[in-house]
Amino acid sequence: MMTQSRRTALLFRAVLVSLPIFWCSSVWAPPMARPAFHPIEVRPVEPPKQVESVKESDKIDVLKDPNAPLPKPTGTASTQVESPWHRITDSLGAPTNSIQQAYVALIVLVDGRGVLTTNYTQTGQTEAQTIILQNPELFQADALVPHVARLLGPNVQVSDLPVKIVLTQAIDSDQFNMIFDKKLQTFRIDMSNFRSAELYTKDGANVYLLEKVNRPKPPPRWMAKLNKCCVFTGIPPDFTGWNRLHDIPFKKDSARVISLFPDAATAKALKDIGDSKNIVHPDQIKTNPEVAIREAFASGDAGSPVVVIGHVAGGAFRVEGADGFDISFEMLTNLARDTGRPLFLIGCYTADQFQAPVNGPANRDYAVGTVNLLYPREVAPKVVAALKSSSNVQALVEHMSDPALYLWISSDFLVNADSAGAKTLRAPIYKDTTDGKRSIVGFLFVYLPCKLLGACA
**Per-residue model confidence (pLDDT) at position 272:** 82
**Per-residue model confidence (pLDDT) at position 55:** 29
Say whether both 85 and 185 belong to one domain: yes
Say whether both 197 and 256 belong to one domain: no
Q: Which of 225, 258, 278 is the last residue of a domain?
A: 225
The answer to whether position 377 is within a domain reads yes
Say whether both 282 and 377 belong to one domain: yes
Say whether both 367 and 407 belong to one domain: yes
The answer to whether position 431 is within a domain reads yes
Q: Which of 179, 197, 225 is the last residue of a domain?
A: 225
Say whether both 167 and 216 belong to one domain: yes
**Per-residue model confidence (pLDDT) at position 203:** 64
Positions of the chain with pLDDT lower than 50, given as ranges: 1-82, 355-364, 366-372
Say whether both 293 and 169 belong to one domain: no
* Range(s) of the domain holding residue 55: 14-225
Say whether both 338 and 211 belong to one domain: no
Q: Which of 196, 225, 254 is the last residue of a domain?
A: 225
pTM: 0.75
Say whether both 182 and 210 belong to one domain: yes
**Per-residue model confidence (pLDDT) at position 236:** 92
The answer to whether position 161 is within a domain reads yes
Say whether both 354 and 438 belong to one domain: yes
The answer to whether position 182 is within a domain reads yes
Q: What is the 3-state secondary structure (H, E, C) of the chain?
A: CCCHHHHHHHHHHHCCCCCCCCCCCHHHCCCCCCCCCCCCCCCCCCCCCCCCCCCHHHCCCCCCCCCCCCCCCCCCCEEECCCCHHHHHHHHCCCECCHHHCCEEEEECCCCCEEEEECECCCCCCCCCCEEECCCHHHCCCCCHHHHHHHHCCCCCHHHCCEEEEECCCCCCHHHHHHEECCCCEECCCCCCCCEEEEECCCCCCCEEEEEECCCCCCCEEEEECCCCCEEECCCCCHHHHHHHHCCECCHHHCEEEECCCCHHHHHHHHHHCCHHHEECHHHHCCCHHHHHHHHHHCCCCCCCEEEEECEECCEEEECCCCCEEEEHHHHHHHHHHHCCCEEEEEEEECHHHHCCCCHHHHHHCCCCEECCCCHHHHHHHHHHHHHHCCEHHHHHHHCCCCCEEEEECCCCCEECCCCCCEEEEEEEEEECCCCCEEEEEEEEEEECHHHHCCCC
The answer to whether position 131 is within a domain reads yes
Say whether both 65 and 159 belong to one domain: yes
Say whether both 189 and 266 belong to one domain: no
The answer to whether position 433 is within a domain reads yes
Say whether both 219 and 118 belong to one domain: yes
**Per-residue model confidence (pLDDT) at position 245:** 93
The answer to whether position 292 is within a domain reads yes
The answer to whether position 232 is within a domain reads no
> CATH number for the domain including 319?
3.40.50
Domains identified in the chain, total number:
2
